[in-house]
Amino acid sequence: MDVLLTVLLLILMAASSSIIQTFIPIKTPLPILQIVIGCAVALIGFEVELRPDLFLILFIPPLLFEDARKMPIYEFVRSGREILSLALTLVFITVIGLGFLIHWILPEMPIYVAIALAAVLSPTDAVALSGIVGKGRLSKKMMRILEGEALMNDASALVSLKFAILAAIGTISIATTKDVATIGLDFLKLSVGGLIIGASATWIYLKLVQLFSKTKDDDPAVQTIFLMLVPFFIYVIAEEAGVSGILAAVASGMLVGHSGLMTRAPIQMRFRANSAWSLLEYVLNGVVFILLGLQIPGIIAYSMERANAEVTINFMTLFIDVFWIYAFLMLLRFSWLLTMKLFSQFVFKRFPMQFRDFSVRELLILTFSGVRGAVTLAAALSIPLIIGTRYQVIFLAAGVIILSLIVGVIILPILLKGFTLDLAFQVEEETKAKELMTVAATHGVHTLQERLCNNTESEEEQQHIKQVVGQVLHEVERYNGQTDYSPEAQELELRIRLTALQSQRGEVYRLKAAKAISLETADKLIYEIDLAETWLQGKRRKREKPSH
The confidence score (pLDDT) of residue 486 equals 67
So what's the pLDDT on residue 85? 93
Q: What is the pLDDT of residue 423?
A: 57
Q: What is the 3-state secondary structure (H, E, C) of 89-143?
A: HHHHHHHHHHHHHHHHHCCCCCHHHHHHHHHHCCCCCHHHHHHHHCCCCCCHHHH
| CA distances in angstroms from 232 to 158, 246, 250, 436, listed in the order given | 18, 10, 12, 40
Measured CA distances, 531 to 54, 495, 498, 534 (Å) = 38, 16, 12, 5
CB burial of residue 457 (10 Å; 0-12, 13-18, 19+) = exposed
| N residues, the chain | 548
Write down the pLDDT at residue 103: 92
Q: Of all helices (H) and strands (E), which one includes residue 415?
A: helix 390-416
Q: Which of 263, 290, 221 is nearest to 37 (CA)?
A: 290
DSSP string spanning 31-88?
HHHHHHHHHHHHHTT------HHHHHHHTHHHHHHHHHHTS-HHHHHHTHHHHHIIII
**For the domain bounded by 9-421, which CATH number is listed?**
1.20.1530.20
SS3 readout for 137-174: CCCHHHHHHHHHHHHHHHHHHHHHHHHHHHHHCCCCCC
**pLDDT attached to residue 548:** 42
Show the beta-strand stretches assigned E in 296-409: none
DSSP state of 350: S
Q: Which residue, among 433, 443, 442, 436, has the nearest Cα to 542 in the 3D structure?
A: 433
- Whole-angstrom Cα distance, residue 445 to residue 472? 9
> From the first residue on, what is the mean pLDDT of each consecutive set of 10 residues in the chain (548 residues)?
82 91 86 91 85 83 88 85 92 93 90 93 84 75 88 87 86 76 87 94 88 68 85 94 92 87 68 82 88 89 82 81 95 95 84 88 92 86 84 91 92 83 63 78 84 80 82 74 66 81 88 86 85 76 53
